């Protein structure tokens, strides 16, 4: 049945959903991957597409920006539309000097700066981690590509006004990049017994200046990350 945010019916979504943040990127992914894609939801300008890749069903739907927005869609997909796994495909700002702009990060965990996961285990800091089998599938698809790393990211509810010492501390403990969705996605998947993964392209660097992608490059330079995300989604 339709929800306030998704005007689809049960059966309209595949068991696996790719979830970029940008609606334009979602549409572009659908066009690239699924010639038979059909629009199954279009509430608030967030279109969802379902089709097949190599004969296997797949859906693509944007999350919008930030963990509250993703939290709405992920919760409804998991609880109302029988979705079993969501793979976020997006961008992050690089933190570790071990990654450079254009690299791909398979996020095996997400340090979480917000509050959405605080209720999951009372008086305990929840560990927001990806589903192992999805991490494994994406890593195997990457092979020995030196421009792909498996590492944690940090998920934030703010984009601006992050103190430099916070970024430095995150980088010091091996955090590959910063973004705004994965912590909530991993928490929600755990809550409902589902699977989740994030695969990110490093679009700029917070500790090594002068490497930023343009807005156009952010929209188009996601092919490698998309390939790994599809491998995980259909594994």
**Could you give the CA distance from residue 68 to residue 53 in angstroms, rounded to a whole number?**
30
Our answer to whether residue 145 is catalytic in this structure is no
Nearest of 100, 142, 123, 115 to residue 226 by alpha carbon: 142
Residue 116 and residue 191 in contact, taking contact as beta carbons nearer than 8 Å: no
State the catalytic residue, choosing from 157, 168, 204, 212.
204
For residue 51, report the phi and psi dihedrals to the nearest 5 degrees.
-160, -150
Question: Which residue shows structure tokens 């109302």?
Answer: 80
- 109, containing H or E segment: strand 104-112
Nearest of 206, 225, 216, 229 to residue 99 by alpha carbon: 206
Burial class, 3, CB count within 10 angstroms (exposed 0-12 / middle 13-18 / buried 19+) = middle
**Could you give the CA distance from residue 33 to residue 37 in angstroms, rounded to a whole number?**
9
H-assigned helices in 12-121 = 23-33, 67-80
**How many Cβ atoms sit within 10 Å of the Cβ of residue 208?**
15
Residue 85, token pair as written in the block: 């796994």
- Just list the catalytic residues: 204
């Amino acid at each position: 049945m339709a929800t306030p945010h998704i005007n689809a019916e049960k059966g309209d979504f595949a068991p696996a959903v790719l979830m970029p943040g940008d609606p334009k990127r979602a549409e572009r992914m659908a066009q690239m991957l699924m010639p038979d894609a059909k629009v199954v939801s279009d509430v608030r300008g967030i279109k969802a597409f379902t089709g097949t890749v190599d004969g296997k069903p797949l859906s693509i739907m944007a999350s919008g920006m930030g963990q509250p927005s993703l939290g709405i869609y992920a919760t409804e997909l998991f609880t109302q539309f029988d979705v079993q796994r969501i793979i976020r495909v997006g961008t992050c700002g690089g933190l570790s000097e071990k990654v450079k702009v254009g690299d791909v990060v398979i996020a095996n965990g997400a340090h979480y700066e917000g509050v959405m996961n605080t209720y999951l285990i009372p008086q305990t800091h929840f560990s927001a981690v990806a589903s192992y089998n999805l991490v494994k599938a994406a890593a195997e698809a990457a092979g020995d590509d030196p421009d792909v790393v498996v590492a944690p990211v940090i998920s934030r509810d703010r984009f601006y006004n992050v103190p430099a010492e916070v970024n430095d501390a995150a980088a010091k403990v091996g955090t590959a990049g910063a973004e705004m969705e994965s912590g909530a996605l991993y928490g929600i998947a755990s809550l409902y017994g589902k699977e989740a993964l994030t695969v990110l392209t490093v679009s700029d660097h917070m500790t090594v200046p002068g490497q930023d992608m343009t807005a156009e490059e952010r929209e188009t330079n996601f092919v490698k990350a998309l390939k790994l995300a599809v491998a995980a989604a259909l594994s």
